[in-house]
Amino acid sequence: PRHFAIVPAAGNGSRMAASRPKQYLPLLGKPLIFHSLAVLCAAPAIDKVFVVLSVDDAEWRRHDWSSLGPKLVPLFCGGATRADSVLAGLRAAAHEVEPSDWVLVHDAARPCLAPWHIEKLIRELARDEVGGLLAVPVADTLKRAGEHRQVLATVPRENLWQAQTPQMFRHVMLRRALEAATHVTDEASAIEAAGLHPRLVEGDATNLKVTYPLDLHLAEWILSNREG
Ligand code: C5P
C-alpha cells in the first residue's frame, strides 16, 4: 500500500485571539503551516500531501508553496468541523487513493513534526490491521472538576496518553468511520466508535499543537534548535 497525507487546515484558530487563522501566523519567516507541510512533502514514504483549506480561504494564494514540490495538492473543500474537513479531503482525493492505502491525517497546527515521528509511525503500524497514532504518556496529575471547580476526583494517569498527529489509518476504514461518527475531535475516536482499537506509537512533546500564543514561541525554539 501507498501512504498519503491529509492536512486539515480549514479552522479559524479562535483560541489564538489573532487577526488571522493560526495556520498562517508567521513562524521563522514562513506561515506556520509551511513547516507542517514541508516535513510531510519531504518524507520519502509519502506519495502526496492533500491540504484541506476553507472554501473562502483568502490567504493560501498569497504565499509561494513551490519549494514544497509536486506532492502538495491544495483542496478548497473544508467543512464546519475538523472531521468534516478530513472527510471532504478524503472524498476529493478518492480517485487517487486505493481502499487499502494508508492515510496520515496531520494537524496543520503541529509545525514541529520531525522526520523520525513519521518514520516511526509508519514502521510500527506497517503490519497493523487498523492503524494508530502518535501519542505521549500524560505527565501531569489530572483532576476531574465539578461545576464550581471543586475537585471531584484524581484521575490516575497510569495508561493515559495525549493524542497527537499524524493519525494513520487505511483509507476505506477511515472514510467509513468518519461518515458514521458524530462529535469526534480526532480520527482515532471515529475508529474507536466503530469498535476498533487504534495503536499508540510513542512520539515526544516536541510535536506540540499550536493553540495558544505561548505555543508559537515554543515551536520557534524547537524548530531553531533542531539538528540538521
Ligand atoms: O482547532 P484545532 O486546533 O483543534 O484544529 C485542529 C486542526 O483542524 C487545525 O489544523 C485546523 O485548521 C483544522 N480544522 C479544519 N476544519 C475545521 C476546524 C479545524 O480543518 N472546521
**ipTM of the assembly?**
0.94
pLDDT tens for the chain, 228 residues: list them: 999 999 999 987 666 667 788 899 999 999 999 999 999 999 999 999 999 999 999 899 999 999 999 999 999 999 999 999 999 999 999 999 999 999 999 999 999 999 999 999 999 999 999 999 999 999 999 999 999 999 999 999 999 999 999 999 999 999 999 999 988 999 999 999 999 999 999 999 999 999 999 999 999 999 999 976
CATH superfamily of 3-135+162-224: Spore Coat Polysaccharide Biosynthesis Protein SpsA; Chain A (3.90.550.10)
Cis peptide before 166 (omega within 30 of 0): yes
DSSP summary character for residue 156: P
* Domain limits, the chain: 3-135+162-224
Q: Which residues line ligand 1 (CB under 6 A)?
A: 8-11, 23, 52, 78-82, 85, 107-109, 209, 211
Cα 152 to averaged position of ligand 1 atoms, centre (Å) = 31
- For residue 66, give every residue at least 6 positions away whose Cβ sits within 8 Å of its Cβ, in sequence order, or none: none
Nearest CA to ligand 1 atom 6: 107
pTM for this entry: 0.95
